[in-house]
Structure 1
Amino acid sequence: MLRNREIRLVFLVMCTISLALLVVATFFSLAAVILVLLTSMLLIGCSLLFTRLRYQEIEKLSGYVRRISSGDYTFDVRDNREGELSILKNTIYKVTVMLSEQSALLHKDKIHLTEAISDISHQLKAPLTSMMVMADLVEDTNLPEAKRKEFTRNIRIQLERLDWLVSTLLKLSKIDADAVPFKKDQVMVAGLIEKALQPVLIPIDIKEQTVSIMGEDSVSFLGDLNWTTEALINILKNAVEHTQEGGTIEISFSENPLFTEIMITDNGKGIPKEELPFIFKRFYKGKGAGEGSSGIGLSMAHSIITKQNGVIDVQSDVHKGTEFRIRFYKQVF
């Protein structure tokens, strides 16, 4: 304690004042000298004792901080008494709780990253393995020309799938990292639906499906046209894929003072109830998923919509169809 320069200075000042008072007391009487001496000793002793107790508390806090720095957040240092040390203890405890929560989030993110890398590796492994096998077959000089063309075409298809997969994963990563500046433009829903339908018109035509659109041309919401189009394309692809030939897909939209709503309904094979809680989970593929499904289309749609103050939910019955309901709220409550 006395190694502290400030404590030594205070102790020296107190001793100097006591000595001066003793000198003054000698001019009065012996009783005055004794009184000043006892008072000085008591005051200096109490000061040293109080300082020692404070040092012990500070040493405990130092040990607590060292435990925090080593990753131990279990110690509770809260103190409900008055005083600056109690305030300091409670402040340190609040920081400890915050660090504990951040540590838990980092651990959770680490697990999520590990799982994501594993899932991505699995998604990339299948087309890469397929292409390696077909590339070996193409090298065979005795391979018929028809087979060579077939394998070359399959390799191109797998490469296109890989390109789409990597591109989509990069977009998802940007959205998750809040690196996508979503615009706040006035989006007309009728134009949005028309734009989203363009990439799926050919598969719709091949499967001879019927698409009906219902809604007022004035319906709109504040959002990003291009990103929302991407979300709807993924939902529409899902509807086309899981609706039988000759089936119907209904798109309706409306607006009220609270939100703008878009509903996409099909009469396809539907989704089992036990799978509904997981369909927006990344890389999740249900029992009825197609062979080329990657399990990230609906996850991407969910991320895009929720990042624009929207919500998306799904209702479905097996063999009866599926309904996606999207709502873009006009303000945050």
Structure 2
Amino acid sequence: MLRNREIRLVFLVMCTISLALLVVATFVSLAAVILILLTSLLLIGCSLFFTRLRYQEIEKLSGYVRRISGGDYTFDVRDNREGELSILKNTIYKVTVMLSEQSALLHKDKIHLTEAISDISHQLKAPLTSMMVMADLVDDTNLPEAKRKEFTRNIRIQLERLDWLVSTLLKLSKIDADAVPFKKDQVMVAGLIEKALHPVLIPIDIKEQTISITGENSVSFVGDLNWTTEALINILKNAVEHTQEGGTIAISFSENPLFTEMLITDNGKGIPREELPFIFKRFYKGKNAGEGSSGIGLSMAHSIITKQNGVIDVQSDVHKGTEFRIRFYKQVY
């Protein structure tokens, strides 16, 4: 305790005052000297005793903090008594709880990152393996020209798939990291749907599917046109892929004082009830997923919509079709 400079200074001051009083008491009487001496000893002793108790508490807290820095968050030093030391204990406890929660989140993020890397490597492995095999076959000098062209075309298709996959994963990573500055423009839903339909018109035409669009031209919401278009394209691709030839896809939209709503409905294969909770999970592929499906399109659509104060729900029955319901809630100022 006496290694602390402030304690040595206080002890020196108390001894100096006591000595001064003893000198004065010698001019009064022997009884005064004895009284001053006993009183000084008692005061100095009590002061040192209670100071020692307080410093022992501080030493305990110091040890507690060292254990926290080592990753042990199991201690509870909360103190409901009055005083600065009790306030310090409660503050340390609050910091401990916060560090414990952050540690749990970091551990969860680490597990998520490990799973994501594993899933990404699995997604990349299939097309890379396919291209390596076809590249070896193309090198064969005895390979017929027709086969060589077929393998070359397949390699190009796999390269395009890889390019799309990497680009989408980068976009998802930026969205997850809140690194995408979503615009807050007034988006007209009719124009949004027209823009989102454009990339899927060819597969719709090939499968001779029918598209119906219902809604007022004045319906709008506040959001980012380009990113929301990306989300709708992925949802529409899913609808086109899982709707049979000659099927129908219906798009309707409306607006009320609370939200702007879009419904995308098809009469396709439908989604089994047990798969519905997982369809927005990254890399999840259901039983009816196509051969080229990567399982990230709907996940990306979900991330884009939820980041813009929106929600997306799905209802589906096997062999009866699927309905995606998108709502963008209006801000209250």
Deviations 1:231-251 (A, max 9, x none): 000000000000000000000
Deviations 1:77-126 (A, max 9, x none): 11111111110000000000000000000000000000000000000000
Unaligned runs of 5+ in 1: none
The question of 1:123 aligning with 2:115 is answered no
CA deviation after TM superposition for structure 1 residue 332, in Å: 6.5
Determine helix, strand or coil for the equivalent of 1:291. Answer: coil
In structure 2, how many angstroms separate the alpha carbons of the residues matched to 1:20 and 1:122?
85
CA contact (8 A) 1:234 1:298 kept: yes
Determine helix, strand or coil for the equivalent of 1:88. Answer: helix
In structure 1, how many angstroms separate the alpha carbons of the residues matched to 2:274 and 2:47?
71
Deviations 1:24-47 (A, max 9, x none): 111222211111111111110001
TM-score w.r.t. length of structure 2? 0.99
Number of residue pairs aligned between Structure 1 and Structure 2: 333
CA contact (8 A) 1:309 1:332 kept: no
Identity of aligned residues (%): 95
Determine helix, strand or coil for the equivalent of 2:294. Answer: coil
Q: Which deviates the most, 77-86 or 105-114?
A: 77-86
CA deviation after TM superposition for structure 1 residue 207, in Å: 0.3
CA contact (8 A) 1:259 1:328 kept: yes
Q: Counterpart in 2 of 1:16?
A: 16
Deviations 1:239-269 (A, max 9, x none): 0000000000000000000000000000001
In structure 2, how many angstroms separate the alpha carbons of the residues matched to 1:225 and 1:31?
95
Determine helix, strand or coil for the equivalent of 1:137. Answer: helix
Q: Which deviates the most, 23-32 or 79-88?
A: 23-32
In structure 1, how many angstroms separate the alpha carbons of the residues matched to 2:331 and 2:224?
16
CA contact (8 A) 1:249 1:264 kept: yes
Unaligned runs of 5+ in 2: none
Deviations 1:163-199 (A, max 9, x none): 0000000000000000000000000000000000000
Q: Counterpart in 2 of 1:226?
A: 226
CA deviation after TM superposition for structure 1 residue 331, in Å: 2.0
CA contact (8 A) 1:214 1:253 kept: yes
TM-score w.r.t. length of structure 1? 0.99
In structure 2, how many angstroms separate the alpha carbons of the residues matched to 1:164 and 1:68?
45
Kindly tell me: are residues 131 and 254 of structure 1, through their superposed partners in 2, closer, same or farther at Cα, counting changes over 3 Å?
same
In structure 2, how many angstroms separate the alpha carbons of the residues matched to 1:213 and 1:132?
44
RMSD value, Cα: 0.8
In structure 2, how many angstroms separate the alpha carbons of the residues matched to 1:331 and 1:40?
71
Determine helix, strand or coil for the equivalent of 2:48. Answer: helix
In structure 2, how many angstroms separate the alpha carbons of the residues matched to 1:56 and 1:139?
79
CA deviation after TM superposition for structure 1 residue 324, in Å: 0.2
CA contact (8 A) 1:127 1:162 kept: yes
In structure 2, how many angstroms separate the alpha carbons of the residues matched to 1:74 and 1:307?
36
Determine helix, strand or coil for the equivalent of 2:131. Answer: helix
Q: Which deviates the most, 89-98 or 32-41?
A: 32-41
